[in-house]
Structure 1
Amino acid sequence: MGFIKTTTSMDLGDTPIENIFIDVYMPIANGTFVKVYLLGYKYACDTEINKSPNNITLAKNLNIPLSDVLEAWDFWESKKIIKKVSQCEENNWDYTVEFVSLKQLYIDNNYKSIQHLNQEDTESSSYSCSTKELIDANKVPEIKQMFIEINKIIARSLTPNEKMQILEWFHNYNIDPPLVIKAYSYCRHKKNVKNVKYVAGVIRNWYDLNITTVEDLDTHFSKQGERYGVYDRIFKAMGFAYREPSEIEMKIMDKWLDTYQFSIDIILKACENSSKTSNPNLNYIDSILGDWYKKGVKRVEDIEVMDNRKKDASPDPISKPQKQSKIKTKFHLSESRVSKYDPKELEDLLLNRNKNK
Structure 2
Amino acid sequence: MSEINLSMAINTGVTVISNAFIERFINEANASHIRFYLYLMYYSQNHRSFSISSACDFLEDSEKDIIRSINYWEKQGLFKVTRADENTITAIRISDVSGIPDENSTMSSDIQSETSLYDDGDEDETIFTNPQPVNITELDLTQVLYKAGELAGRPLSSSEIDFICELNERLKFTTELIIYLYEYCCITKGINRFKYIESVALAWADKDLLTVDAAKSEAEVFNTENATVMKAFGLSRLPGASEKQYITKWFHSYNMSVEMVAEACSRTLIQLSKPDFKYTDGILKNWFKSGLANLDDVKNGDKAHYAAKQNLKVVNSSNPKPVYNRFNNFVQREYSNEKMEDLTNKLLEKSII
Q: Does the pair score TM above 0.5?
A: no
Query: What TM-score, normalized to structure 1?
Result: 0.37
The structure whose Rg is larger is 1
